[in-house]
Amino acid sequence: MVYLLLALILLPTLELALLIELGRQVGTWPTIGLVLGTGVVGTALAKSQGMAVLHRMAAELNEGQIPAEGLFDGLLIFIGGLLLATPGLITDTAGLLLLLPWTRRLIKAKARVKIYDWVRRGTLYISVR
């Protein structure tokens, strides 16, 4: 709950301050161009990465495998796309990190360790039927 409150209050405030400062340093129009440009590039990257994951998942399904990695990649790509749709430099950076395959691999590895820890401590329970 505290993290959600911080995200809803602190993050927009930091984003606004950063955009104002960038606007002072480089000008209004370059700042607007940067925000719009990251949205366009991010959309194209999200589409290409999403399609690549879908093709990989289809191949795994055709081989009779459960596409668990693809599902997790798809979730991270979706979140990255949402972050890029939100105006701001911090969210754009986080979104791009989730869309790039090599940084997404690192994020997945860290998330996997955290999820295993939650399961081990009993904070998270996973049921398979």
> What integer pLDDT is reported at residue 26 of this predicted model?
96
Question: CB atoms < 10 A from the CB of 39, how many?
Answer: 16
- Paired tokens of 66: 């459960």
For residue 69, what pLDDT is reported? 87
For the chain, which ranges sit under pLDDT 70?
Answer: none
Q: How far apart are CA 43 and CA 35, in angstroms?
A: 12
User: Tens of pLDDT along 14-51?
Assistant: 999 999 999 999 999 999 999 889 888 888 999 999 99
**Roughly what angle, to the nearest 10 degrees, separates helices 89-99 and 28-62?**
30
Q: How many whole angstroms separate alpha carbon 93 and alpha carbon 88?
A: 9
Q: Give me the pLDDT at residue 85, please.
A: 85
- 54-60, long-range: CB < 8 A, 24+ apart: none
pLDDT at 29: 96
pLDDT reported for residue 104: 93
57 C-beta neighbours (distance < 10 Å), count: 19
- Secondary structure (3-state) at 37: helix
Under a CB-based contact definition with an 8 Å cutoff, are residues 81 and 51 in contact?
Answer: no
DSSP state of 67: -
Q: Quick one: pLDDT at residue 42?
A: 87
Quote the pTM value: 0.81
Q: What is the pLDDT of residue 95?
A: 94
